[in-house]
Copies of this chain bind each other. A is one copy, B any other.
Amino acid sequence: MNPFDALMPKPVRMNPKPGGLKIAAGFSLRIEGGAGVKVAKAALRFQKRLADKTGLFLEMGGPLECSLVMQYKREGELVLGEKEGYTLNVTSQQAVLSAETDLGILRGLETLLQLVCVDQEGYYIPAVEISDEPRFPWRGLMIDSARRFQPMDVLKRNLDGMAAVKLNVFHWHLTDDQGFRVESKVFPRLHEMGSNGEYYTQEQIREIVAYAAERGIRVIPEFDVPGHAASWVIGYPELASAPGPFLREINLGILDTVLDPIKESTYLFLEEFFAEMATLFPDEYLHIGGDENNGKQWLANPRITQFMEEHDFKTILDLQCHFNKKLLDILTKLGKKMIGWDEILTPELPPTAVIQSWRGRESLVQGAKQGHRVILSAGYYIDLCQPAEYHYKNDPLPADMELTEEESKYILGGEATMWSELVSPETIDSRIWPRTAAIAERLWSRREDCKVEGLHERLDILSLGLEDLGLTHEKNYPQMLRRLVGGAHIAPLQNLLDLCEPVQGYERVTQRKHTAVSPLTRAVDAARPDARGAREFRDLVALYHGESEVRTRLQEKLRMWACNHEKLAPIIERSPILREVNTLSLDLTKVATIALEVLESPAKKLNEQEKAALEEAKKPRGQLQLMIVSAIEELVTKNH
């Protein structure tokens, strides 16, 4: 694939030219127009990545002819809607990267790095004119540090990954039932009693905010209230709607604990707390969660039900809206704008509050119609292990959306959401990448440029570049397999897991109860969404119309799988952790054997036993799903 086609996200306008700019040891940089530290640091990172990629001992500075000129007019502000566009003009003499703001330079440098390619003479950047800018101003990734704590290095490498695909909002889910992950000096029992000792100090928070800012990424903290707040009330039981004492929570799902919305002291506490947090997080937006309050504790508390009656609040939602409005006042006083999950969208909610749609697209439309700015996350839940294509097709503003042009402007963009009930620092990258790059492209590139064809090939190329940023989505896979087999001989297990995906949606926790401390080192954790081996097989089957060459390739794969179980079985025997995939392994061998027979005898019809075997092989085992069965059924159909 040529480097222009591989670019991700796709630039708006691109005009490739013949020739290119050689990259050699004398490759030098110059910054014009701005003297900001952001571009200076970005240029250093660019130079390091270029050296790492090419192995060239690049010289720093020196009186050399300049290879790359960066020109910008002003330092961009890290606020919603700031200009991020850039133009890039590469000739055989020089590359010129121009932008209104330094943010544009940052975005352009990522494009430039993706363009580096090779010919007989060495590395070069192909000549091109590019002019680029984002479609949506809000392009985010949410990481949940609460359910499972995510250490600093996880966040940093993911911020690097975000910058590489031009995402610009890091939404940081910092508190939830299972953990309060930010140090509060005002209310220290929040993090001390509300966590297992794993939380971010204020210095670390500042470090992440600065790290993100250097990459042109805003940080929006989320403090989820009034539900999802079990970790708050352990140290401060007076905030709760039910009598304490409370202990640390490792159960997942929707819990009952909810803050008391009728005590003035609750709001005084929140005001003081948010005032403290406002000093840590410079962004003008602050997320208050607001989701999944089941209201049980409110209804069980006579003091609260009496308050509801007095105020003529008919429902839980009415009371929560009261809570939200009080919160909005607090945030407004602190100079902050409020965001919340779509539950906060009620007719009474003042339009200054921003709505994040997660339960479906309805709230996106309804929010925009009510004059709220809205962000789409429904369809971007990357924790649910759905295919990249599914997320990619999910346009925040499709052509047929029933909104006026004016209403459409309220749609700010979207956010991928990495909830962490089922990810550890070891597996989180494999759930974020490379699928989030597809979402990033959807949010940056023109609607008409987001074509599904070639998406996976392009993600595969991008994925290698993401690895160089320290992301572990590829390299932790064989490592986890080594642990599973208790040795270095992983091939038979890999043959199986290359074809398997974790069950999608909320199936995994439906099939087996997990807590916040269950091990995440099983086969289902090593396996990844969009299983590459399964995809390659499906593509091959789709391509197959009786050609002998394709048939041979199919047979090669199927033969390997048909005898895979005899190799894997003794490994499973020695690794009890793998026993839950024994049936899956047998199923693979069975369906591969059936498929081989189908290929080898064109007239063959499946008997009942074979049909049953295919049906069986569709069943999840150990929360894993074999992803080649439908392709084998397709093969059977094609054979006739």
Contact surface of A with B, Cβ cutoff 8 Å: 48, 51-58, 60, 118, 120, 122-123, 151-153, 201, 203, 250, 425-426, 460, 464, 467-468, 470, 472, 474-476, 478-479, 482-483, 486-488, 514-515, 517-522, 573-577
Contact = CB atoms under 8 A, between A and B. Distances in A.
B478 A464 contact: no
A522 B55 contact: yes
Given A118-B576, A151-B153, A519 B60 contact: no
B483 A467 contact: yes
The 5 closest A-B pairs by CB, nearest first: A55-B577, A153-B153, A51-B519, A475-B475, A52-B521
Q: Copy number of this protein in the oligomer?
A: 2
B486 A467 contact: no
B482 A517 contact: no
Nearest to A123: B576
A158 to B, nearest CB: 13
A464 B487 contact: yes
Nearest to A519: B51
Contact of A464 (B468, B482, B521): B482
Contacts of A476: 475
A438 B584 CA distance: 40
Contact of A521 (B55, B153, B576): B55
6 contacts: A51-B518, A51-B521, A52-B520, A152-B153, A467-B483, A474-B482
A532 to B, nearest CB: 9
A38 to B, nearest CB: 13
Contact of A475 (B60, B152, B478): B478
Given A52-B483, A153-B153, 4 more contacts: A118-B486, A464-B483, A467-B479, A475-B475
With a 10 A CB-CB cut-off, give which of A203, A483, A573, A576 has the most chain B CB atoms: A576
Given A153-B153, A576-B118, A53 B468 contact: no
A468 B60 CA distance: 38
Contacts of A482: 464, 467, 474
Contacts of A53: 483, 521, 577
Contacts of A520: 52
Contacts of A203: 201, 203
Given A118-B574, A478-B475, A575-B118, A55 B464 contact: no
Contacts of A425: 470
Given A201-B203, A483-B468, A488-B464, A57 B519 contact: yes
Nearest to A196: B44
A3 to B, nearest CB: 11
Nearest to A518: B57
Contacts of A573: 120
A380 B444 CA distance: 52
Contact of A52 (B153, B487, B519): B519
A40 to B, nearest CB: 11
Contacts of A478: 475, 478
B576 A54 contact: yes
With a 10 A CB-CB cut-off, give which of A52, A58, A123 has the most chain B CB atoms: A52
Contacts of A60: 250, 517
Nearest to A577: B55
Nearest to A23: B576
A474 B118 CA distance: 29
A573 B520 CA distance: 41
A251 to B, nearest CB: 12
Contacts of A488: 460, 464
Contacts of A522: 55
Contacts of A518: 51, 57
Nearest to A207: B201
Nearest to A197: B41
Contacts of A52: 483, 519-521
Contact of A576 (B58, B122, B467, B576): B122
Contacts of A468: 483
A151 B204 CA distance: 13
A54 B579 CA distance: 11
A573 B118 CA distance: 9
A20 to B, nearest CB: 14
Contacts of A483: 52-53, 464, 467-468
B55 A519 contact: yes
A624 to B, nearest CB: 13
With a 10 A CB-CB cut-off, give which of A474, A519, A520 has the most chain B CB atoms: A519
A487 B117 CA distance: 12
A486 B54 CA distance: 10
A185 to B, nearest CB: 13
A372 B186 CA distance: 51
A575 B116 CA distance: 12
A253 B123 CA distance: 31
Contacts of A464: 482-483, 486-488
A514 B58 CA distance: 11
